[in-house]
Amino acid sequence: MTNMNIQHVAGHENHIQALAAFHNSLLKTDWYTSASDDHSVYMQGEVYFTSMTELALKNGPAFAWMREAFRAHAYSGEPWGTEKKPVPLVPSIPSHNELIEIRSAYELYCLLPSAQARRQAIIEQVYQLGAHTSELDFEPALITSSNDLNQAFVRGQADAYNALVKLVTQFQLLATHK
């Protein structure tokens, strides 16, 4: 477990930096403390996961999505009989030049049947960009003017809000059972 020095995000200018710090904390998280034979390790994990949940609830959809995406990664793969989920990308707001690169690479890979995996990787990148920026006023025209990329971007935004709703519901259920 790591010490998360992340507080409630006050302004949009700090949103991506705080989300990147949250990403870094989640990357270092021991997701399996609940399986520990040592009760103190189990309890430390419970306290830590509660604080992560509260932090995600305070900071909104992108944080809830990030928490859920890391949880999905941790609990997927061969031991669970599922395809391994990817580690979420480090959040960032792409520059105009980076958006041009994303769009032009996507268009190129659409023309090359053998580049399906590369095209899917770009779609995943855009999906995560949508999740990372779900509550920001950020809709890059270079992305949203392509039907496939726009769908991925919007799906990322929707999944971030759905992750927050799921987290709120889980937190409320836990609170009523204590």
The answer to the question of residue 103 being in a domain is yes
To which H or E segment does residue 146 belong? none
Model-level pTM?
A: 0.85
Distance CA(132)–CA(101), nearest Å, equals: 19
Residue 6 located in a structural domain: no
Pair of tokens at residue 170:
């889980």
Q: What is the mean pLDDT of residues 90-117?
A: 93
Q: What is the predicted pLDDT for the residue at 136?
A: 84
Residues 44, 141: Cα–Cα separation, whole Å: 45
What's the pLDDT band for 173 if we cut at 50, 70, 90? confident
Classify residue 2: in a domain, yes or no.
no
> Is position 92 within any domain?
yes
Q: What is the mean pLDDT of the chain?
A: 89
Mean pLDDT, residues 42-68: 92
30: domain range? 11-178
Q: Is residue 56 part of a domain?
A: yes
pLDDT above 50 for 178: yes
Angstrom distance (rounded) from CA 95 to CA 40: 45
Q: Helix H segments across the chain?
A: 12-27, 39-59, 61-74, 96-111, 116-132, 141-144, 147-176
| Residue 5 forms part of a structural domain | no
Model confidence at 139, in pLDDT bands (50, 70, 90)?
confident
Q: Is residue 77 part of a domain?
A: yes
Query: Does any domain span residue 1?
Result: no
Structure tokens at 31: 């997701």
Cα gap 107→80, rounded to integer Å: 36
Angle (CA) 33-159-98 rounded to 5° is 100
pLDDT grade, residue 58 (50/70/90)? very high
Is a pLDDT exceeding 80 seen at residue 175?
no
What is the mean predicted confidence (pLDDT) over 53-66? Answer: 94
Query: Considering its fold, how many domains does the chain have in total?
Result: 1
Q: In angstroms, rounded to a whole number, what is the distance separating the alpha carbons of residues 75 and 99?
A: 32
